[in-house]
Structure 1
Amino acid sequence: MTTISLLPDPSSPLSHESAAQAFSDILDGRASEDAIARFLIDLSDRGETSIEIAEAARALRDRLIPISAPAGAIDVCGTGGDGHHTLNVSTAVSLVVAACGVPVAKHGNRAASSKAGAADTLEALGLDMERAGAMAEETLNELGICFLFAANHHPAMKRITPIRRQIGKRTIFNLMGPLANPAHVTRQLIGIARPDYAPVYADALEQLGTEAALVVSGEEGLDEVSGAGPTVAVAIGSARISARIVPEDAGVARHPLEAIRGGDPAYNAAALRQLLTGAPGAYRDAVLLNAAVALSLIGEPLEDGARRAAEAIDSGAANDLLNRWIAWA
């Protein structure tokens, strides 16, 4: 018989110990569904601290099903839930960066606020989610890319998913996803939907021992580098650096956000195929910009990174990688 634990009052910031215990109780089924819902709502309304985010992520990491990854693997991932319903930028960036020779362990899920999340769009492109998951280590080592479908690697989340759906708003679990990559990558480009949270999120990453990361948030509340205007960026590594990125830094043009508005999985999949076969426009420029920022994690200057990403597309390397991945999995 499971003993029901009382969750702490989240009206004040929690200590490391209280946060760790609370999220252990939540993930291990020692708290009632009503108590979990109230706790998550109150935490979100007050605003999560870096300690709470880090301890929540640590609890999820302790319970995930891991895979091994080659040295230097990165992840490009957003928290989702930004409400802008854009095309799948981070998914496209993952393919382009992998085609540049940098292994990408892409961690993702189905749609949070858009009509098509990474898993939905990859399925529409022909990737078999079950086989891709089973062969993730193999494709990461042989092709330089894999998709780590969150539902396959976080069994502790099974009980939490309906509670999140019932709450119907962003909670700390949106923030935890990118921090619990099953490949344990130590280099990440993470997009969050709240620019004011970038420093808090960077603090959490440092507490978790991340080697190098860029936390980015478009000033319009976009969970990626914005192709429409400025982006708040906080880099962690040998030093903490805060910066403001604009598309021109990577030598790409600005476009209104509406120009990369997404649709259902079939629509987004078709747009991604067109992008990978050389179609110009706003989607391409957004992907080049975000790929350039991702490549900066390995020391590439932004303009050089954008050129390298463009070559990966224009040479057919990124499209060929997608085809080989679909055939493999």
Structure 2
Amino acid sequence: MNYLKKLINNGTLSREEARSCMIQIGKKEISDVQIVAVLTSIQQRGVRLSELEGFRDALIELAKPLHLQTERSIDCCGTGGDGKNTFNISTLTSFILASMGYKVVKHGNYGVSSLCGSSTVLEYLGYEFSSNPEELQRQLDRNNICFIHAPLFHEALHHVAPLRKALGIVTLFNGLGPLVSPHHSTNQLTGTYSLELAKQYQHILKSKHTHFAVLHGLSGYDELTFIGGTRVLKTTGDELIETAPNKLPINPNEISGGNSVAESAHIFTSILSGAGTKSQNTVLAGNVALAIQTFEPGLAFDHAFGQAFEHIQSGKSFYTFKKTCL
């Protein structure tokens, strides 16, 4: 495999070479050993922009297509892989936004390098994943939200999932997840485990003409947590957010996702029902506020935060959750 030789020798694949390499992986034209070698060699030195673009091209080409009818929608999907084990911030953000009237088409998967990915907790709580466009459209029309379970749309990569699980580390597929939803939303809130990857996302999302915010916490988080500064790369430029509008200091232990799927699910439903702690609500409101700004860029962050915080405390989002999952 010429691509593998190039990678082992610290070479960079062109966009077309990366596309071709991923097509071969998707079509099982190379062995599991070679796939693992590709994943580890790229992860060791970091994925390059041309490679990220080429791999993304291939995965969209291989994916089952999906065209949902909505004028504007947002995907809230981070890379994962930060190893911080926070509660399910992006999935909760999605439910809060939907209950506030925004259309959400969330792309997600089971946790691979983390305890409880978005699909893990949703499945535990009773959501039934579907690849039926009519059913997903009904959910979006009725509840303002539907979930795109990655394995149902990226069937070509079923054989890669066990390899990723066995490796137990972040791989290029973590970096690709938020870029390969089969539904191309007009808006996106996403986070990355590295600043270099965040800048690559900014370049790619600008080329898609998407209204977006890409987050990278300087303390290593792939979400806005108010623990240290968070770089926010937007359609219109960059900013640094260091403190919450309500000035509440956040301790990492206060935003933990728990030690089991059941515990994660309990935290999840407690927050939705309005019983979250002030720290949980603060972190969640910050992420919701950034998502709102992708729809309303003229709205000040502090104002969007206040709207989101009040809505989270009200527990109104639990009704959207019940209609969707129960």
Q: State if a TM-score over 0.5 links the two structures.
A: yes
Equivalent residue in structure 1 for 2:272, among 247, 272, 276: 276
Closer/same/farther in 2, CA of residues 71 and 65 from structure 1, 3 Å limit: same
Moved more, 143-152 or 116-125: 116-125
Q: Is the 8 A contact 2:86 2:255 kept in 1?
A: yes
1:37 maps to 2:36? yes
Closer/same/farther in 2, CA of residues 326 and 25 from structure 1, 3 Å limit: same
Q: Which residue of 2 aligns with 1:235?
A: 234
Deviations 1:155-177 (A, max 9, x none): 01112112222333211111111
Moved more, 170-179 or 67-76: 67-76
In structure 2, runs of 5+ residues without a counterpart are none
Q: Which residue of 1 aligns with 2:93?
A: 93
Describe the SS at the equivalent of 2:62: coil
Once residues 81 and 201 of structure 2 are traced to their aligned partners in structure 1, the CA distance between those partners, rounded to angstroms, is: 16
Q: Is the 8 A contact 2:189 2:213 kept in 1?
A: yes
Q: Is the 8 A contact 1:234 1:243 kept in 2?
A: yes
Q: Which residue of 2 aligns with 1:295?
A: 292
Q: Which residue of 2 aligns with 1:114?
A: 114
Q: Is the 8 A contact 2:109 2:118 kept in 1?
A: yes
Once residues 185 and 179 of structure 1 are traced to their aligned partners in structure 2, the CA distance between those partners, rounded to angstroms, is: 11
Q: Is the 8 A contact 1:76 1:189 kept in 2?
A: yes
Closer/same/farther in 2, CA of residues 266 and 176 from structure 1, 3 Å limit: same
Closer/same/farther in 2, CA of residues 134 and 123 from structure 1, 3 Å limit: farther
Moved more, 70-79 or 123-132: 123-132
Describe the SS at the equivalent of 2:225: coil
1:323 maps to 2:295? no
1:285 maps to 2:282? yes
Once residues 32 and 231 of structure 2 are traced to their aligned partners in structure 1, the CA distance between those partners, rounded to angstroms, is: 36
Q: Which amino acid aligns with 2:52?
A: I
Once residues 256 and 315 of structure 2 are traced to their aligned partners in structure 1, the CA distance between those partners, rounded to angstroms, is: 25
Once residues 83 and 30 of structure 1 are traced to their aligned partners in structure 2, the CA distance between those partners, rounded to angstroms, is: 32
Kindly state the Cα deviation for residue 179 of structure 1 after the two structures are TM-superposed.
0.3
Using the size of structure 2 for normalisation, the TM-score is: 0.91
Q: Is the 8 A contact 1:7 1:35 kept in 2?
A: no
Using the size of structure 1 for normalisation, the TM-score is: 0.90
Once residues 53 and 34 of structure 1 are traced to their aligned partners in structure 2, the CA distance between those partners, rounded to angstroms, is: 21
Instruction: Spell out the pairing of 1:49-198 with structure 2 (5 A cutoff).
Output: 49-69=48-68, 70-129=70-129, 135-198=135-198
Kindly state the Cα deviation for residue 94 of structure 1 after the two structures are TM-superposed.
0.4
In structure 1, runs of 5+ residues without a counterpart are none
Q: Which residue of 1 aligns with 2:241?
A: 245
Closer/same/farther in 2, CA of residues 134 and 222 from structure 1, 3 Å limit: farther
Q: Which amino acid aligns with 1:326?
A: C
Kindly state the Cα deviation for residue 126 of structure 1 after the two structures are TM-superposed.
2.7
Q: Which amino acid aligns with 2:119?
A: A
Q: Is the 8 A contact 2:214 2:234 kept in 1?
A: yes
Q: Which amino acid aligns with 1:114?
A: S
Once residues 200 and 251 of structure 2 are traced to their aligned partners in structure 1, the CA distance between those partners, rounded to angstroms, is: 28
Q: Is the 8 A contact 2:129 2:148 kept in 1?
A: no
Closer/same/farther in 2, CA of residues 286 and 106 from structure 1, 3 Å limit: same
Q: Which amino acid aligns with 2:135?
A: M
Q: Which amino acid aligns with 2:116?
A: A
Q: Which amino acid aligns with 2:271?
A: L
Instruction: Spell out the pairing of 1:250-261 with structure 2 (5 A cutoff).
Output: 250-251=245-246, 253-261=248-256
Percent identity of the aligned residues?
29
After the TM superposition, which segments of 4 or more aligned residues of structure 1 sit over 4 Å from their partners? 130-134
Once residues 313 and 189 of structure 1 are traced to their aligned partners in structure 2, the CA distance between those partners, rounded to angstroms, is: 18
Q: Which residue of 1 aligns with 2:25?
A: 26
Once residues 28 and 242 of structure 2 are traced to their aligned partners in structure 1, the CA distance between those partners, rounded to angstroms, is: 44
Once residues 36 and 173 of structure 1 are traced to their aligned partners in structure 2, the CA distance between those partners, rounded to angstroms, is: 12
Deviations 1:270-319 (A, max 9, x none): 11222122223211111101100111101232122222223433444311
Aligned residues: 318
Once residues 106 and 26 of structure 1 are traced to their aligned partners in structure 2, the CA distance between those partners, rounded to angstroms, is: 25
Superposition CA RMSD, Å: 2.0
Once residues 85 and 58 of structure 2 are traced to their aligned partners in structure 1, the CA distance between those partners, rounded to angstroms, is: 30
Closer/same/farther in 2, CA of residues 27 and 127 from structure 1, 3 Å limit: same
